[in-house]
């Protein structure tokens, strides 16, 4: 039972601890397209809408998707799968959401929409450090 609920527990811990858990950032030293979503979701749940928009304006769209996926996965792991959703999201919507997420990421890396909280420095990532060691 604990194994099934572990992802939800992990999400709760991540929401309250400011710890760099993003593998993309650890590898590259650059924020990933989803960086800020956890903190933005926390701000949204506390009704700090301005802070949520600054951290990641797509949190109202992506946070429910992640929560639904985690809850459904936990239920399936417990052997109690939830009934299928009454609708299927068309592929075009998923493609549009992906394009929106990547477009927002590109704008933020370019310094728009609040930019990224930390300067872009590839040498902070594991890949950049490895390249610096070799060359």
Residue 127: predicted pLDDT: 85
C-alpha 25/C-alpha 44 separation (Å) is 23
C-alpha 111/C-alpha 71 separation (Å) is 35
pLDDT greater than 70 at residue 64: yes
- Binning pLDDT at 50, 70 and 90, where does residue 6 land? confident
Q: Is 93 exposed, middle or buried (0-12, 13-18, 19+ CB in 10 A)?
A: exposed
C-alpha 5/C-alpha 9 separation (Å) is 6
* Rounded mean pLDDT, 50-71: 89
pLDDT greater than 80 at residue 12: no
Report the mean per-residue pLDDT for the chain.
83
C-alpha 3/C-alpha 25 separation (Å) is 27
- Binning pLDDT at 50, 70 and 90, where does residue 13 land? confident
Residue 17: predicted pLDDT: 66
Q: What is the pLDDT of residues 80-131, one digit of tens each?
A: 888 888 888 899 999 999 999 999 998 888 888 766 656 677 777 888 888 8
Collect all residues with Cβ–Cβ distance below 8 Å to 8 and sequence separation of at least 6.
Answer: 70, 71, 74
Collect all residues with Cβ–Cβ distance below 8 Å to 126 and sequence separation of at least 6.
Answer: 26, 27
- Residue from 54, 74, 59 nearest 116 by CA: 54
Q: What is the pLDDT of residues 20-43, one digit of tens each?
A: 667 888 888 888 888 888 888 999
* Phi, psi dihedral angles at 54 (to 5 degrees): -70, -40
C-alpha 7/C-alpha 45 separation (Å) is 19
The model carries a pTM of 0.69
């Amino acid at each position: 039972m604990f194994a099934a609920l572990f992802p939800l527990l992990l999400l709760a811990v991540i929401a309250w601890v400011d710890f760099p858990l993003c593998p993309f950032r650890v590898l590259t030293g650059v924020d990933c397209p989803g960086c800020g979503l956890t903190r933005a979701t926390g701000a949204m749940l506390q009704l700090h809408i301005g802070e949520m928009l600054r951290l990641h304006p797509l949190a109202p769209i992506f946070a429910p998707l992640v929560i639904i996926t985690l809850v459904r996965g936990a239920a399936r792991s417990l052997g109690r799968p939830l009934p299928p959703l009454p609708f299927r999201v068309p592929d075009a919507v998923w493609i549009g959401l992906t394009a929106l997420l990547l477009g927002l990421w590109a704008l933020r890396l370019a310094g728009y929409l609040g930019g990224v909280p930390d300067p872009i420095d590839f040498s902070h990532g594991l890949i950049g450090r490895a390249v610096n060691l070799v060359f």
